[in-house]
């Protein structure tokens, strides 16, 4: 059974940094793509970043580009989201997700694209 577990969330002041981790277990994730999403209260789940399991082709939503960095440690089956210059608008529950068929044509920023999800970790940015 595939499991994804996020950690690293918390409360931080605007301008601060956090690093989120997502530990994957249950099967080999070679060939998968991994993504980070977030969901603020009353809003839809929003794409943040994505990376292939071999670490190439990272890309970001416009709202976080230049501030957030997605990376992976395949030896640890873990992906990370380094978040710098945090803003109150970044406040949300952050989720990691696995796309087991990244070769499919289509919009890879859609939540429906992803097969497995973690439980989420809360990030709160105070002004």
Dist CA 125 CA 72 (whole Å)? 24
| pLDDT at res. 55 | 78
**Spatial CA neighbour of 17 closest among 85, 69, 102:** 85
Average pLDDT over residues 72-96: 95
3-state secondary structure of 18: strand
Cα-Cα-Cα-Cα dihedral of 82, 89, 66, 123, to 10°? 0
Dist CA 114 CA 103 (whole Å)? 12
The residue that leads in pLDDT, 103 or 86, is 86
Note the pLDDT tens digit of each residue in 54-81.
Answer: 777 899 999 999 999 999 988 888 999 9
Q: Where are the beta strands (DSSP E) in the chain?
A: 3-7, 10-13, 18-25, 33-39, 46-52, 59-60, 68-73, 78-83, 92-99, 116-117, 121-126
For all residues of the chain together, what is the average pLDDT? Answer: 94
Model confidence at 44, pLDDT cuts 50, 70, 90, reads very high
Note the pLDDT tens digit of each residue in 16-28.
Answer: 999 999 999 987 7
Model confidence at 48, pLDDT cuts 50, 70, 90, reads very high
| pLDDT at res. 76 | 87
């Amino acid at each position: 059974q595939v499991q994804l577990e996020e950690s690293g969330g918390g409360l931080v002041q605007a301008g601060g940094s956090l690093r989120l981790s997502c530990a994957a277990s249950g099967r080999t994730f070679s060939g998968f793509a991994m993504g980070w999403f977030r969901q603020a209260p009353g809003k839809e789940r929003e794409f943040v970043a994505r990376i292939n399991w071999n670490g190439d082709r990272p890309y970001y939503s416009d709202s976080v580009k230049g501030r957030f960095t997605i990376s992976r440690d395949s030896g640890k089956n873990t992906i990370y989201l380094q978040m710098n210059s945090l803003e109150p608008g970044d406040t949300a529950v952050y989720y990691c997700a696995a796309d087991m068929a990244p070769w499919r044509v289509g919009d890879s920023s859609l939540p429906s694209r992803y097969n497995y999800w973690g439980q989420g970790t809360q990030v709160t940015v105070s002004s």
